[in-house]
Each structure stands twice: as structure tokens, then as C-alpha cells.
Structure 1
Amino acid sequence: MSTKRFYITLVFALLLSCFAVTAQGNKQKELEAQLQQKRKELKELNALLFSNKKQKKSVITLIEDLTYKVRVRKNLIKITNEQANLLTREINGNQKEITSLRTQLQELKDDYAAMLVKSYKSKSEQSKVMFLLSSDNFKQAYKRLQYIKQYANYQKEQGVAIKTKTKQLQDLNIQLSKQKEDKQKLIEENRSEKRQLEKELKDREVLMASIKSDMGKFSAQIKKKKQEADRLDREIDRLIKLAIAASNKKAGKTTSTGKFVLTPEAKKLAVNFEANKGKLGWPVSRGVIKSKFGKGRSLTDNSIEVNNSGIKIAAEKRAEVKSVFKGKVSSITIVKNANAAIIIRHGNYLSIYYNLSKIYVKTGDKIETGQVIGEVFSNKTTGESLLDFRIYKNDQKLNPELWLAKY
């Protein structure tokens, strides 16, 4: 193999290896970030929902909490499986690369050894001079001189190539050893999580069996909660429409568009709010998202479909509720047979905080980011402290989880 061809092959192989390593490295980082998030979520979930064994909870709430915990743990196990599988592919790839590098290194060493022998046999300066003097003409002598220089350079290049390959092989061996350690840790964690999952599934079975005879009654309770949620949705939709109409009328726009007509100040506020997507502070100091945005299944009865207009955050008992961004209190409402809700306007965006037992602000108040606006209602019957949190753009429902910072 010529020197030029060897280096082209080496560079091409290194580029391909770099692309593959970068892609796999990015995937591992992404999975590791997801894993850390799930670990934190489980930790918060245990602290908020399972640490106080003396706290009385309804069976339905216990089942919901356990079902949610099972879902989080299943996701955690899924992520560790993906990480382990990716590491297996990386380990296999590195082992093949190590085998290839060893072969290349041996070829380089053999070639270098042969060169040294040849160089030793013709190493004397006299033989080089004789080689030049025996030329038929100046042109041939010049070519022979260039050949001698090229051969010397080739020897140096071969030496550098051997060092490069040796270092590459050493680095890969270190990387491979680290990957094997990481994989073993993931396997052990996975086994531990699976054992815990089996226990939680058994606990859930026992609870489900305890309400089996009264499932009709509990299903009726779930449906009633769904009806209450629908009533809340209608009330919030009505309040938002009123707010849009009142704001636009004040601005001299009477045509109904379903959107806020923004003043320069309100437009600037909306732009700032939008720029903070994925970075907004949480409305409670500690919490876990127990119920996600959009369509899903009831945590208790899988046959019942739910469609959440926001997210439900399990918080500490009587937790303080904070505004996620600066704005102005658009309205405060108390839904029939339910608790209070505060709507804060941020330009053409709205953040909504429902299920409050105490309210510390009034309609028209200017609010700062992180300002305490109320307190979460703690249900003595169910043992829950749930904040219903929503975000709208005009009258369009958005997924609040995408707007909050990762904790």
C-alpha cells in the first residue's frame, strides 16, 4: 500500500468513525438526560405521594398514584434498556475496530521492520554517494536524490503511522473497558427497577381486587370527575372569550376574531413569554406531573378516556402557587361545586391556575414572575393536593409541560 493511499484510507476511516461516535455519543447523552429526569421524577413522586404512610387516602387515589408510579418506572426501565442496547452496539463496533486496528498495526510494523532491514543493508553514506555518482546524467542523479529523500520521509511517516495506530488502539481499549463498566451498572439498575416494578404491580393488583365488587360505583365517581372537568373547561373557555372581547373592545376593535388585539406593550410581553418556552419556572416549588395534557386513559379505569386541557401537578400539602411569568390578573372564578381558578394574561398568552383554596391577588393586579398568588387545595377525602395548570394562546390550548423548565 502506497503512503498516499494509506493516509487517504486512514483519514476516511477516522472521519467515518468520528461521525458514528458523535451520533452514538449524542444518543447516549439524550438517553442519559431522560434517565436523570425519570430518576428525579421518581424521587419527587416518592417524596410527595408515598413518604407519609399515615396520611389517609381514598383507594381510588392510592390506585391512581401507584398506576402513575408504575408508568414512570416502566419508562425508566425502557430507557435503561435502550442505553444498554446502544452500549452493546458500541462495544461490538469497538471490538471490531480493535481487531481491525491490531491487523493494521501489525502490517505497519512488518512493513517498517522490512524497511529497516533494507535501510540497514544500504545505510552507508558511501553507498548513497555511489548510487548518485553512478547516474548516467544530471537528470537521473537528481531523480535518484529525490528518491532517497522520499524514502527517508516514508520511513518517518511509517513511524508516525505506527504511533498513531498504537495510540488509537490504546484509546479504544480504554473506551471499551469504560463501556463495559457502564453496561454492567445499567444491567444492575435495570434488574433492581424490575424487582421494584413487580412489587408495585402486585400492590396495585391487591388494591384493584379490593374495589372489584364496587367497580361500578368507582367508575361512576370517575365519570363524575370527568363531568366536573368538562364543566371547568366550559367555564374557562367562556372567561377567555369574555376577556378577549373586553380587551378588543377597549382597543376599539369590535369584530370577533378569537384573538387579542395587542398594544405595543402587550406584544412585547407576549414575545418575552414565548421566548421563555421550556424555561418557565414551575407554579409550585415541588411537584410531579400526575396527569398529562391531551387525550389519555384514566389511571384507575383504563376503559375511560380522559382529555385534559392542561396538566395536573401533585404538590405538597397546602403548597404555595406562584405565577410562572409576569402579567396581569385577567379574572378569578370559583366553579360551581369546585374550587377557585386564577387567569393571568401575558400579552396574548394566558396561564391558568385551578384548584386553589386561598387567593392572594385580585382581578386587575399586575403580577411579577414567581409571585405567590394562592394556595393549592388539599383534599381531606382523597388526600390529594393537585394543581390544575394550563396555558393558552388566545383561545388555543397548549401543552404546559413543553413550557415548563425541566426539573
Structure 2
Amino acid sequence: MKLFKAAIFLACMLVAAGAFAQSSAELKRRREKLSDELEQLNQEYQETASNKKVSLKQLNILKAQINLREEKIANINSEVRNLDNQISESNNTVRNLQSQLDQLKKEYAGMVLFAYRNQSAYNKLMFIFAAKDFNQAYRRLKYLQQFGTYRERQAGYIQGTQRDLHVKINELDKDKREKSNLLANQEKEKIELGKAKNNQVKVITDLSKQQGAIKQQQRDIRKRIAQTNRAITAAISREIEIAR
């Protein structure tokens, strides 16, 4: 009877030892699995950090491009303001030239009328003899001699002034159109860069959130690994006690 009890006790001890050994093995497999998961998370974190670094670099490039675009826009706006000032000054010049042109036309019309009234040699002589003194008579004589040439020069000057007016106005209009188109293009590019910047900021924000989530998972797994290590130590201690 005593021998039978001893045999049963030994069998129970063997079963218990087997159970403890199996529990220790399971814990080790669990730790190995957790370690694999942690390694995978470490790789994911490194990839996320690398992607974030690239995204930050791209964001800085976009910021630099936007700053450059803003400088260009500021320069173009300055050029447009200068052009507006030039246009204003040119318009004043145009008005002055137009006033001069009107005066020349008026003088030209007066000269034509005078020439018509003084076509005869008698009228010309009367014009000369009506002078107050010799010097005035001489000047009137030279005036009559040079009248035809002067009239031609006046007509040429009027026509040249008209051409200059048209050329100046056309040049100013062309410059203003070019500057306006360039400014519109720069503003459009700035808007597109702003959109790209916002998208990049969103990507970085998402990557930062992803990094935070991975860190939390890493902490959780490390905690579980630590718990598993303690459980393994406890299991091994029990196995040693049983083996004694």
C-alpha cells in the first residue's frame, strides 16, 4: 500500500514537472514572438522616421520656393508700380506733347493764312516796308525767305511728334501687359506651391502620429516582454524547486 502511494506521488510529480516545463516553453515562444513583433515595429519606426525626414526636407524646399516666389512677386509688383509711374509721367508727357502739337497746328494754320494773304510781291514789300526800323525790316525779309522751309520743318515736326506719341503709348501698353501676365503667372505658381506645402504638412503630421502610435506599441511590447521574462524566471525557479 505504501509502495502504491509512493508510485502515485512520483507520477504526479512527473506530470507537474511536465506541466511546468511546457509552461516555460510557451512563455519562451511568446517572448520570441514578441521580440519579432518589436523588431518589426523598430523597422517600421525607422522607415517612418526616414520618410518624415525626407518629407521635412521636401517641406523646407517648398518653403524656400515659396519665399523665392514671394520675392519675385514683390519685385514684379515694384516693377509694376514703377511702370505705373512711368505711364503716369508718359501720359503727362503725351498731354504736353499734344498741347505742343495743337499749338504747332495753330501756328501752322496762321502761317498758311498769312502766306495766302501775302502771296503778291506788293504785299510782301508792304510787309517789309511796314517795319519800324532797318533791323526789323531785315528780319522780316529773312522770315519771308525762310518761311517755306520753316513751314516744311514745322509740318515734319508735327508728324514726327505724332509718331513718337503712338510709339510711346504702344511701348507702355506692351510693357504693362507683359508685367501683368508675369505677375499672374507668379501668383498662380505661388498658389500651387502653397497647396503642395499644405499637402506636405499633412503628410508630416500623419507621419508624426504614426511615429507616436509605433512608440506606444513598442512600449507595450517591451512591457509584455518584461512581464514574460519575469514569468519565465518564475517558471524556471519552480522547475528547479520541483527538480530538487
SS in 1 for 2:192: helix
For 1:180-223, what per-residue CA distance to the aligned partner results, in whole angstroms no more than 9, with x for missing partners? 321331232133123213213312432453466779xxxxxxxx
- 1:135·1:141 contact (CA, 8 Å) conserved in 2? yes
- Report the alpha carbon displacement of residue 166 of structure 1 after superposing the two structures with TM: 1.1
Paired-residue identity, %: 26
Aligned to 2:19: none
Query: Is the Cα contact below 8 Å between 2:108 and 2:151 reproduced in 1?
Result: yes
How far residue 178 of structure 1 moved from its aligned partner, in angstroms, is 1.0
For residues 4-403 of structure 1, what are the structure 2 equivalents within 5 Å?
Answer: 58-132=54-128, 142-149=138-145, 151-210=147-206
- Structure 1: runs of 5+ lacking an equivalent: 1-55, 216-407
Higher relative contact order (CA 8 A, sep 6+): 2
Preserved contact between residue 108 and residue 158 of structure 1 (Cα < 8 Å): yes
Is contact 2:59-2:197 (8 Å) kept?
Answer: no
Structure 2 CA distance, aligned partners of 1:143 and 1:98? 34
Structure 2 residue runs of 5 or longer lacking an equivalent are 1-50, 213-244
Q: Offset of 1:102 from its aligned partner?
A: 1.9
Hey, what's the Cα distance between the residues in 2 that align with 1:92 and 1:176?
Answer: 10
Higher strand share: 1
* Equivalent residue letter for 2:71: N
Instruction: For 2:59, give the aligned amino acid.
Output: I
Offset of 1:120 from its aligned partner? Answer: 1.0
Report how far residue 99 of structure 1 moved: 2.4
- Matches of 1:96 and 1:136 in 2, distance apart? 42
SS in structure 1 of the partner of residue 119 of structure 2: coil
Question: Which amino acid in structure 2 is aligned with residue 173 of structure 1?
Answer: I
How much is the aligned-residue C-alpha RMSD, in angstroms? 3.3
The amino acid of 1:182's aligned partner reads E
What residue number does 1:241 align with? none
Instruction: Work out the CA distance in 2 between the residues paired with 1:189 and 1:151.
Output: 57
Question: For 2:71 and 2:83, how far apart are their aligned partners in 1?
Answer: 18
Q: Residues of 1 paired with 2:86 and 2:134: CA distance?
A: 57
Residue-by-residue CA offset, 1:363-397 (whole Å, 9 max, x unaligned)? xxxxxxxxxxxxxxxxxxxxxxxxxxxxxxxxxxx
Q: State the alpha-carbon separation in 2 of the partners of residues 212 and 125 from structure 1.
A: 104
- TM-score of the superposed pair, with normalisation by structure 2: 0.52
2:69–2:186 Cα contact (<8 Å) kept: no
Q: For the residues of structure 1 that align with 2:61 and 2:82, how far apart are their CA atoms?
A: 32
Partner Cα distance (2:66, 2:180) in 1: 24
Whether contact under 8 Å (1:77, 1:194) holds in the other structure is no
Asked if the contact 2:55/2:200 (under 8 Å) is kept, the reply is: no
> Residue 136 of structure 1: CA displacement?
9.7
Taking the aligned partners of 1:129 and 1:137, their CA distance within structure 2 comes to 14
- Which amino acid is the alignment partner of residue 88 of structure 2? N
